[in-house]
Structure formats: structure tokens, C-alpha cells
Amino acid sequence: MRRPGLALKLSVLLMLAVVGIMLLDFSLTPGSALDRGRLLVFVALAFGMALLGALVLDALVIRPLVRLSAQARRMVVQDYREPFTPSGLDEPRELGEALEHLRERVLAEREALRSVNAELEARVVERSGALAEAQRALLERERLASVGRLAAGVAHEVNNPAGVILGRAALLLDDEAGMPAEAAEDLRVIMRQAERIRDITGALLRLGRPNRGERAPTDLAAVARSAVGLAGPEAAARGVAVTVAGAGSEVMADGAALEQVVYNLVRNAIQASPAGSAVEVRVEGACLTVGDQGAGVDPAVLPFLFEPFFTTKPLGEGTGLGLAVAHGIVTEHGGTLVAQNRPEGGACFTLTLPGSERA
């Protein structure tokens, strides 16, 4: 609500000033007679001038200031969304324009601050996620290292008796002609199981010991063909066709260790594929994929495939170390090994390595 008090006060002051000046003029004029009629005329004239001045002052100054004051209050209530509309002349208009400029600056600064806050929140979320992932990876690596150290110790203790059993069984089989057929078959079973123990302990030792093989530029496609050749007899026995497609690039790797990785992937794919199906090994640059036509992998167990001693094979057919060793070798080479189910059916393992570092 507008308050006319200022205009009224200024009008009264103006009227008193005019009357005072007139009275002073009369008193200082020689021979002047101050009669009541002339005094009333002068007072009426002073009152009229004061009223006119008050109206002019109210129209040119007071009303524009009141409108600006009301707009300023609404601006605070409406969060600076309503623009100022400068009115009046000279200083009141300049004041309104300055307030509008201030409002625009406040909105611009607020928008900039909102943008900075959003960016900071995004960075905090990103850094928090990265920190959580790094912590998870660190814990996982420490857990695997502990398992590897424990497995290596157990492997050393088990490998020696297994070697003795294997050697003694082989010596006994040298006299196979002089023993019953059933005893000879029992010895062969003992040798096969001792060889299985040796293979398992060897995998445990590789799991617990970092790979220090020599790394050199290695043709990934050649490694894939060699690994497929090693798995060829098992594929033929199961009636599974294995094909190699694509062309690879050179990668800095330990060729023997890399061949072990690909062989494990191909062998798992062969064992997961039904007779009459096919396993496809595709090489593109520094990326190798092995896809089968089996039943695929249960999504619930996908996160655990590369953990030591985890296997989806029936009891007695798998140790749960092949993929763990393969994953460890790939990680040591600075690469990644991931598993997923294919839309057309079957599982797909993707091995990605850094390219050759030869400049």
C-alpha cells in the first residue's frame, strides 16, 4: 500500500517556506502595511503552490519510488522471476534500471552457481564410484593373493607325494606282463589320478606365482590357431567343429602364457557345446572372442566365473582353476577377460589386450 506521507510533509514545508518568505518580505519593505486581506491572499497562494508542488512531486518522484519498492518486495517473494519496469523520469528511472540490472546479475550468478553445484555433485558421484570400485578391486586382489599363497603352499606339499605315487605306479607298470590285468588297470587309474593331482597343483602354483615370462611382440591370430590345434583332438572326439576367423595384430605378451589362456577358453567352449555344434574363435586386432553354442551361463554365476575353485562342471570334471589362472594371466598383461551370454544362445568370452608397444 502506497504511503503519501513524504509528499504531504514536503508540501507543508514548501507552504511554510513560501509564507515565511512573504512575511519576511513584508516586514522588510518600508512603509508596507500588513492587512488581513492581503495576508489571506498570500497564504492561499502559498497553499496552492504547495499543493501543486506536492502533486508534481508525488507524480514524478513518490509514485515511481513506491512502484519500485513494491516490485522489489514482489521480487523477493517470487524469487527474482518478475522483471523490474522502470518508471518516472531521471533518477527514479535510473534507479529502476539499476535494480533490473541487479536482478539479472543475481539470476545469472544463481544459474552459474547451480551449474557449478551440479558439476561438483556429478564429480563427487563419479569419484565415489571410482573409489568404491578401486577399493573393491583392491580387496578382490588381496583376497586372490591370499588364496594364491595358500594354494601355492598346499600345492608344494601335495605335489611331492603325487610325484612319488606317479613314479612308483609307472615302475610297477613296467612289469605289466607279469601281473593280472585287473591290477594293471588299477595302476593306470592310479597314474591318471596322480597326473590329475599334478595338473591341479601346477595350476595352483601358477595361480599363486606371478608370471615373469619374457614378453615380446606376439601375433594373436597365430596364438589362436596354435591353441585350437592343441584342442583339436578333444573337439574331434566330442564331435564339435572349431573355426578360427579374422586377423589379429601384434601384442606385447608372453606367447606361451597367452596360448594357455586361449587353450583354456577353447577347451571350455568345446566341453560346453553339444555334439554337432561349432565353436568360433574370432580375432580382431588385439581382441579375441570365443563363442560356443551351448546352454550359456546362468546370469547368477557370471560374476563368480573367474574366482578360484568355482566351477559349473559336474563334480570330478572341473577344478575351478582354469578360468582363474587365465584371468590372472590376462590381468598381468594389462588386459581384460569378460564373459557374457550371446543373444543367439551359448556363451562368449572376450579377451582384450593392449596393442604392440613397438614404436
Q: Is residue 216 within 8 Å of residue 255, measured between CB atoms?
A: yes
Q: What is the mean pLDDT of residues 69-98?
A: 70
Confidence at residue 25, expressed as pLDDT on a 0 to 100 scale:
62
298-323: pLDDT as tens digits: 777 777 677 766 565 554 455 556 77
Residue with cell 569419484: 127
Confidence at residue 7, expressed as pLDDT on a 0 to 100 scale:
56
Q: Between vectors from CA 167 to CA 163 and to CA 171, what angle results, nearest 5°?
A: 170
Other beta carbons within 10 Å of 244 = 20
Cell of 37: 486581506
Confidence at residue 312, expressed as pLDDT on a 0 to 100 scale:
59
Confidence at residue 108, expressed as pLDDT on a 0 to 100 scale:
82
Q: What is the mean pLDDT of residues 141-154?
A: 67
Nearest to 319 by CA among 229, 202, 238, 152: 202
Identify the three-state secondary structure at position 93: helix
d(C-alpha 245, C-alpha 289), whole Å? 10
Confidence at residue 1, expressed as pLDDT on a 0 to 100 scale:
41
Identify the three-state secondary structure at position 60: helix
Residue with cell 579375441: 288
Nearest to 180 by CA among 190, 192, 168, 172: 172
Q: What is the mean pLDDT of residues 335-350?
A: 88
Q: Which has more confidence, 209 or 16?
A: 16
Q: Is residue 61 within 8 Å of residue 94, measured between CB atoms?
A: no
Confidence at residue 290, expressed as pLDDT on a 0 to 100 scale:
92
* Mean pLDDT estimate for the chain: 76
Which of the given ranges, 1-15, 19-33, 117-131, has the highest pLDDT on average? 117-131
Cell of 318: 572341473
141 has pLDDT over 70: no
Q: What is the mean pLDDT of residues 153-159?
A: 73
Predicted TM-score of the model (pTM): 0.46
Nearest to 304 by CA among 288, 327, 286: 327
Q: What percentage of the chain reaches a pLDDT higher than 70?
A: 68
34 has pLDDT over 60: no
Q: What is the mean pLDDT of residues 26-51?
A: 64
Q: Which has more confidence, 163 or 277?
A: 277
148 has pLDDT over 70: no
149 has pLDDT over 80: no
Tell me the β-bridge partners of 219.
250
pLDDT bin (cut points 50, 70, 90) of residue 2 is very low
The CATH class of the 216-352 domain is: alpha beta
171-184: pLDDT as tens digits: 888 877 777 888 88
Residue with cell 613314479: 167
Confidence at residue 26, expressed as pLDDT on a 0 to 100 scale:
61
Residue 274 identity: P
